[in-house]
Amino acid sequence: MTIGTIKELGAQGKTVLLRLDLNSPIDPSTNLILDDKRFREHLPTIRALTGSRVVIVTHQSRPGKKDFTTLEAHAEKLGQLLGKPVTYVDSIFGRHAREAVQAMKIGEVLMLENVRFNAEENLTLKPEDAKKTHLVKKLSSMADVFVNDAFGTAHRSQPTVVGLPMAMRSAGGLLMEKEVFTLSKVFSGAPRPVCMMLGGTKVDDSIDVARHVLDRGIADQVIVIGVVANVFLIAAGYNIGKPSTQLIAQLKYQEEIGKAKEILVRYRDKVIMPQSVAVRENNHRVEYPVTKIPEDAPVLDIGMDAIHDCIQVLKKSGTVVFNGPAGLFEEADFATGTYELLRAASQVEFSVVGGGHTAAVIEKMGLENDFTHISTGGGACIEFLTGKKLPAVDALEQSKKIFG
């Protein structure tokens, strides 16, 4: 089953509800948008809808957070990047919003208020229940068709993500289409050997990915780095020192140690763990083999020997999926692992990066054009790689069945 595309939708001359993910880092004191990467990713889809009236539905942050704010600055930023005005309406579906949409001309773009200002959007619902919300009923009555380009929220079962496709003819935007197509290729048709590099602090997700790709024979090798590696090292019987062991407890990942152990029992020859690490001692980077990690020093990166071993594996790989950093990359002393591995991964034939912090590092390194695909959704990407059907994609597939 596939999702509908903009080409098939026939949106010319129609009013299109377009769900984007413009959730960006902002300065809460000035509302200044600090990174417009997500805006730039959506431009091709907006331009592809030039012959329509485009009504943007998007969000910033969530209730209770400091950066939960209105979208006035977002409309202005999008207008600058598009090279034409984007009208901001400080209402989601009230009379003011409905009248503004009715008054639109072909080619115009309008942005509704932060959709998470509406309590219903913060609920997790099944598509049929999401369709019955006031939010979906009101929004769907304001337009002819729906396009979802918000891959970053594709793993959420929220009304605008899963309810709108049940209420109206729908399609995936160009970004959604590209993400789904490229990530699906990892599962079938990716050049072999396939190597998964799993790091960062999302240990539970990474372990789900590792289990899925090894059980299904999708990956030939899994390299673990970052906090994920620390959990595997404990599972393999190494003492990683008090600070790093405490961090795992603090992140509530003790249960994952047992799961890592199971993976090692079944796939020991396919899981590559760092054999050396870098710790902080007297404010300096000091390296140790994993058999001699000091009791009171935090593990903050993989060591040079481990970097060398990983690069040898990457050089022989046809595909690499890179998700999560190798250490505390924000500090120059402990960025070596992340930087060197990304540099090596960028030279592999088919290279996919799972969004988030890693994407920011790639941009800083100026390597963004050297990777096959850099995902715009960290959470959505990793959930896709665990083999789960993303709620947004599922809803778009169902919509195609219902509305053709």
Instruction: Return the pLDDT at 339.
Output: 97
Residues 252 and 340 in one domain: yes
Residue ending a domain, choose from 329, 348, 367 = 348
pLDDT tens column, 164-181:
999 999 999 999 999 999
Rounded Cα distance between 301 and 163, Å, is 43
pLDDT of res. 309 = 97
Q: Considering the domain boundaries, does residue 169 fall inside one?
A: yes
Among candidate residues 189, 275, 179, the one with its CA nearest the CA of residue 232: 275
**pTM, 2 dp:** 0.90
Concatenated DSSP letters of 87-110:
EE-S-SSSHHHHHHHHT--TT-EE
Give which of 82, 32, 38 is closest to 58, Cα–Cα.
38
Q: What is the distance between the terminal CA atoms of the chain, rounded to a whole angstrom?
A: 12
Average pLDDT over residues 254-273: 98
The answer to the question of residue 375 being in a domain is no
Split into its structural domains, the chain has a count of 2
pLDDT in tens, 89-129: 999 999 999 999 999 999 999 999 999 999 999 999 999 99
366 within domain boundaries: no
Q: Name 101's Cβ contacts closer than 8 Å, sequence gap at least 6.
A: 15, 53, 55, 110, 142, 143
Q: What is the pLDDT of residue 319?
A: 98
Percent of the chain with pLDDT over 70: 100
* Structural domain of 318: 192-348
At residue 1 the predicted structure's pLDDT band, cuts being 50, 70 and 90, is low
Distance CA 115, CA 92 (A): 6
* 3-state DSSP assignment of residue 36: coil
Q: Is residue 186 part of a domain?
A: no
151 vs 381: CA distance, rounded Å: 8
| 143/55 same-domain check | yes
Which residue from 18, 38, 22, 56 is spatially nearest to 172, judged by alpha carbons?
A: 18
Q: Are residues 156 and 203 in the same domain?
A: no
Residue 318 lies in a domain: yes
In this predicted model, what pLDDT tens digit does every residue of 338-396 receive, in sequence order? 999 999 999 999 999 987 778 889 988 999 999 999 998 888 999 999 999 999 999 99
Both 206 and 339 in a single domain? yes
